């Protein structure tokens, strides 16, 4: 149990004993004491004064005295400042915590509670390779899943592949027109890059044909509809839906090329899935739910045969769920897939990692599912995130101006090599060790930079800024871990057989207090679906350790007890950094 939970329970008991008032411990606010005040944790009294019928300061003094008398092993002193009860935790509590956990490689990780959560992320289109936006999506999804698992849930990681539709047909038509039978192998390219190039070629030719039609006297609006290449793509979609053999065969072939490319990228960035859904297999789901909704009067049918739901009373608008020709729309298949997922996995929560441009769509999806009374409805959660931009501005897939994921990862590895060589501390590394180190630092810098920001915020990615061994970066945390491991290697033969000191200096206490908060940080990040909380935590932990180590020597400690205490602090800090970074999908080197 965390020290915050212990304090809440102790405070609830104190309130019951002193004032005969019963308060649930979860309703007592306990936070870290502000640096300018003496104390480790603070109980906020303002919300309690009505029930206690005492002024905040008077209640603080009475509760503080009671806690000090009742639990001398936990509390050593207190002070009350303007309605805040600041508590000082005994050194012995922190030292016992350190003894119990310093060698625990699973520190911070909870056992399974048997409940399931699904996290869906990545969701690529098979007409182009993954780009920078996909990287933020993948890193957020994978890390959120890892953090939720660490907080005690069983997690299913899923991906829905958008492998059908007009955009796919555009790449197929362009390949037929311009490839002359070329393949990724003959072109010496990754399959997703190869197919993506034909998507760009389609749009280049489409623009050209529009200009020709406009020059010939056609309006721009009509030219966009009549361009031969666009009409060919529309016909191909019709043929695909009709199951025309040669179209299906080409579709399968080109998708196979793309999947091979995706697999290579996923392996490179450390992204994986337990289950992959394909839109070509799910786009017909939900049709029976439209009929069910009509019977329940959730949906209404217009005179032309189309089916709608009116959400104006909920602050939204009317939404079509079935076209007049009987075909479904995206929201319909999303409803069907939500049911399908629930029936297969019975998850308590289903988290969709999707950009903030889909906020409205996700509100509609959850609301319709709730109105239909579907068991999956209340568990739907949208992890909405802001787009990633470059210093030069937004990216556009169809114009070929996106930042390719593979190229960006390679660039990050190259920058990490340059920066590491500048430091000049890797002369004794083998070529293979250097390759692994550059990959670890480069990919770590990229992931950390994209995850350190609250997901809801839009962000600008700067590759050079992300690899700074002294800034708010992955390499700074990685370097701190390597530094600690170097310290521990020097004492690897001594063991921790000595008694540990019975008192703590300020920086020693700051460090152990920060370490104790790790489990609570994981729980908070899991509840809020926000990996940035873990990123900020490990960065701050690394900073606290560096401050501690600058002031207090391990090798020349004042006594053997102090040396052992500091070795235990170092060991638990290294393990906590390693676990925290692993939850972000980052590796930490043993040496740098």
Give the CATH number, domain containing residue 444.
1.10.730.10
Mean pLDDT value of segment 255-268:
97
Residues 73 and 131 in one domain: no
Residues 449 and 496 in one domain: yes
Within a domain: 443: yes
CB contact at 8 A, 270 and 443: yes
**CATH number of the structural domain spanning residue 385:** 3.40.50.620
Boundary-marking domain end, from 67, 89, 111: 89
Buried b (16+ CB within 10 A) or exposed e, 421-458: eeeeeeeeeeeeeeeebbbbbbbbbbbbbbbbbebeee
Calpha distance 373→107 (Å, rounded): 41
**CATH number of the structural domain spanning residue 38:** 3.30.1360.70
Query: Can you give the pLDDT at residue 351?
Result: 98
Within a domain: 115: no
pLDDT one-digit tens code per residue, 361-380? 999 999 999 999 999 899 99
Boundary-marking domain end, from 389, 422, 438: 389
CB contact at 8 A, 173 and 199: no
Mean pLDDT value of segment 378-395:
82
Within a domain: 110: no
Mean pLDDT for the chain? Answer: 92
pLDDT one-digit tens code per residue, 152-188? 999 999 999 999 999 999 999 999 999 999 999 999 9
Residues 211 and 328 in one domain: yes
CB contact at 8 A, 397 and 128: yes
Calpha distance 543→119 (Å, rounded): 32
Q: Where are the beta strands (DSSP E) in 231-348?
A: 275-278, 300-301, 307-310, 318-322
CB contact at 8 A, 366 and 380: yes
Residues 63 and 153 in one domain: no
Residues 409 and 384 in one domain: no
Residues 377 and 416 in one domain: no
Query: Can you give the pLDDT at residue 499?
Result: 64
Query: Can you give the pLDDT at residue 329?
Result: 87
Number of domains composing the chain = 3
Residue 232, pLDDT > 70, answer: yes
Residue 494, pLDDT > 70, answer: no
Buried b (16+ CB within 10 A) or exposed e, 329-367: bebbbbbbbbbbbbeebebebbbbbbbbeeeebbbbbbb
Residue 498, pLDDT > 90, answer: no
Calpha distance 168→196 (Å, rounded): 10
Residues 380 and 526 in one domain: no
Say what the pTM is.
Answer: 0.92
Within a domain: 592: no
The more confidently predicted of residues 1 and 120 is: 120
Within a domain: 112: no
Within a domain: 319: yes
Residue 548, pLDDT > 70, answer: yes
Mean pLDDT value of segment 198-211:
96
Residues 412 and 378 in one domain: no
CB contact at 8 A, 440 and 589: yes
Residues 482 and 424 in one domain: yes
Residues 182 and 320 in one domain: yes
Boundary-marking domain end, from 389, 421, 441: 389
CB atoms under 10 Å from CB of 235, counted, come to: 14
Residues 199 and 309 in one domain: yes
Within a domain: 333: yes
Query: Can you give the pLDDT at residue 469?
Result: 83
Domain span holding position 66: 3-89
Calpha distance 187→166 (Å, rounded): 25
Mean pLDDT value of segment 446-461:
93
Calpha distance 509→49 (Å, rounded): 32
Residues 362 and 464 in one domain: no
Within a domain: 104: no
């Amino acid at each position: 149990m965390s020290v915050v939970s212990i304090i809440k329970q102790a405070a609830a008991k104190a309130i019951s004993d002193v004032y005969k008032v019963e308060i649930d411990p979860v309703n007592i606010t306990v936070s870290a004491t502000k640096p300018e005040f003496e104390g480790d944790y603070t109980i906020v009294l303002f919300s309690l004064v009505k029930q206690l019928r005492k002024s905040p300061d008077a209640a603080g003094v009475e509760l503080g005295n009671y806690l000090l008398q009742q639990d001398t092993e936990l509390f050593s002193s207190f002070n009350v400042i303007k309605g805040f009860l600041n508590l000082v935790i005994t050194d012995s509590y922190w030292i016992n915590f350190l003894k119990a956990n310093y060698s625990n490689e699973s520190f911070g990780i909870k056992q399974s509670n048997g409940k399931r959560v699904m996290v869906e992320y990545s969701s690529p289109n098979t007409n182009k390779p993954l780009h920078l936006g996909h990287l933020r999506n993948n890193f957020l999804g994978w890390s959120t899943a890892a953090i939720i698992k660490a907080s005690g849930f069983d997690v299913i990681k899923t991906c829905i592949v958008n492998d059908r539709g007009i955009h796919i047909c555009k790449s197929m038509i362009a390949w037929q027109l311009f490839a002359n039978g070329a393949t990724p192998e003959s072109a010496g390219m990754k399959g997703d890059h190869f197919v993506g190039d034909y998507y760009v070629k389609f749009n280049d030719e489409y623009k050209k044909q529009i200009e020709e039609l406009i020059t010939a006297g056609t309006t721009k609006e009509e030219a966009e509809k009549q361009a031969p290449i666009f009409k060919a793509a529309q016909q191909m979609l019709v043929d695909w839906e009709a199951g025309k053999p040669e179209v299906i065969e080409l579709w399968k072939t080109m998708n196979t090329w793309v999947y091979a490319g995706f697999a290579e990228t996923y392996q490179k960035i450390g992204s994986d899935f337990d289950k992959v859904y394909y839109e070509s297999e799910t786009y017909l789901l939900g049709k029976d739910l439209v009929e069910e909704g009509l019977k329940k009067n959730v949906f209404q049918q217009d005179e032309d045969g189309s089916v709608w739901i009116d959400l104006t009373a909920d602050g939204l608008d009317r939404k079509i769920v079935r076209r007049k020709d009987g075909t479904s729309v995206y929201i319909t298949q999303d409803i069907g897939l939500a049911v399908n997922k629930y029936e297969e996995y019975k998850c308590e929560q289903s988290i969709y990692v999707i950009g903030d441009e889909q906020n409205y769509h996700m509100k509609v999806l959850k609301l319709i599912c709730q109105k239909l009374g579907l068991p999956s409805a209340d568990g739907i959660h949208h992890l909405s995130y802001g787009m990633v931009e470059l210093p030069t501005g937004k990216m556009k897939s169809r114009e070929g101006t996106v930042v390719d994921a593979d190229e960006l990862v390679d660039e990050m590895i190259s920058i990490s090599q340059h920066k590491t060589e500048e430091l000049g501390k890797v002369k004794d590394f083998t070529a293979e060790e250097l390759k692994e180190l550059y990959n670890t630092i480069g990919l770590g810098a990229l992931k950390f930079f994209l995850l350190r920001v609250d997901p809801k915020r839009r962000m600008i990615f700067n590759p050079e800024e992300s690899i700074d061994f002294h800034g708010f970066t992955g390499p700074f945390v990685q370097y701190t871990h390597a530094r600690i491991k170097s310290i521990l290697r020097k004492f690897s033969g001594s063991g921790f057989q000595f008694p540990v000191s019975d008192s703590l200096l300020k920086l020693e206490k700051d460090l152990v207090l920060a370490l104790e908060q790790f489990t609570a940080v994981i729980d908070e990040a899991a509840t809020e679906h926000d990996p940035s909380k873990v990123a900020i935590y490990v960065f701050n932990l690394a900073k606290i350790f560096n401050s501690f180590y600058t002031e207090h020597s391990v090798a020349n400690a004042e006594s053997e007890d102090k040396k052992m205490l500091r070795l235990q602090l170092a060991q638990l800090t290294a393990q906590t950094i390693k676990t925290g970074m692993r939850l972000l999908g980052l590796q930490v080197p043993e040496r740098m």
